[in-house]
Structure 1
């Protein structure tokens, strides 16, 4: 079922690209309360198709790792750090290109099905998380500490839940029949395709803006 969701996100990205790039569950307004911050944090990784694709890929990739439940935390902590950097006035260059590039890279690794050193995956998770978190931070700039804390809790919790859910489904398929075992790799290919589409769109935007 997780892979049907991945495919559905591709269709959503084609049908409503404005929604995918809006990245603001509150319609662009800065959250002012704990509940607004929490709901905004939960919604942001789901509304951004590129973010959602990467979170799912984190869960798929973690299946190959020894510490499959701990490895996704490198990405989660990276997103928290990136969000806090942006919320405190820092900037991350070429963020959208790095975000979409990370989707392509991780999608390709998952698609390959090869044994990759855990340290490489964890490094990719952490670095990519920094930039994904930076994008999350743009929606919370200027918010009070209460809303900011709720926002961090919201997107950290939803991302970890999605990653674990994707990994759980992938692991079940991986140990099932040989045909079923190809599905995680297919999901990696689909997600990489999402990343390529967004990457090209970002490059075109930079060239023709």
Structure 2
């Protein structure tokens, strides 16, 4: 009974307390111009963007209960690289911020549901979401030279994969969750879904007030 109440309250508390306005640029808006600044910016970007971080964590938890817990997150990572390169090439993706927010809601809902979804569907979600998350990452590196760009790609790829794998290990080993129906992974899903909903409502508000 207490677990059910907690599952219901987490998104509400989070929606009231989360701050969607947190910075999304690790270098304070400056374009990285060296290998070191490119790498640091890449390492920092997925961490300081709460919506991006939430998706990566939930992706790791969802992947932990599949047969490809180490390989599945690579679909998201590879797609973020592709999305970043689209941004650098000047290709626009429609309603990117809305899609990013909804992708966070979606992956949170998947984990919250306590059910395993097939690998093809999960990989499809990872790939589609990754394309848009990566496109947003690319805003910090547009105009950079090849060396900092490559370092940036390497940085955010490494940190995302590391976080996803760590989140999966946390769910399976530390929380000792035998499956996706366990309470703690589902609570994590509720938190992530709440973050996504908060960011989505912020986008709606911005659209209305524009």
Give CA-to-partner distance per residue, 1:112-170, whole Å, 9 cap, x none.
Answer: 11121111000000000000000000000000000000000000000000000000011
CA separation in 1, counterparts of 2:177 and 2:154? 35
| 2:26 aligned with 1:18 | no
Q: How does 1:34-45 map to 2 (within 5 A)?
A: 34-45=35-46
Paired position in structure 1 for 2:59: 58
| 2:175 aligned with 1:171 | no
Paired position in structure 2 for 1:76: 77
Paired position in structure 1 for 2:139: 138
Paired position in structure 2 for 1:126: 127
Which 5+ residue runs of structure 2 have no aligned equivalent? Answer: 1-9
Contact 1:57–1:107 (Cα < 8 Å) also in 2: yes
Contact 1:173–1:183 (Cα < 8 Å) also in 2: no
Secondary structure at the aligned position of 2:21 is classed as helix
CA separation in 1, counterparts of 2:177 and 2:64? 14
Paired position in structure 1 for 2:106: 105
Contact 1:54–1:106 (Cα < 8 Å) also in 2: yes
* Residues 1:175 and 1:91: Cα distance change in structure 2 (over 3 Å): same
Paired position in structure 2 for 1:196: 197
CA separation in 2, counterparts of 1:164 and 1:96? 25
Number of aligned positions between the proteins: 198
Paired position in structure 2 for 1:151: 152
RMSD of aligned C-alpha atoms?
Answer: 2.2
Paired position in structure 2 for 1:27: 28
Which 5+ residue runs of structure 1 have no aligned equivalent? Answer: 1-6
Secondary structure at the aligned position of 1:18 is classed as coil
CA separation in 1, counterparts of 2:163 and 2:116? 23
TM-score by length of 1: 0.89
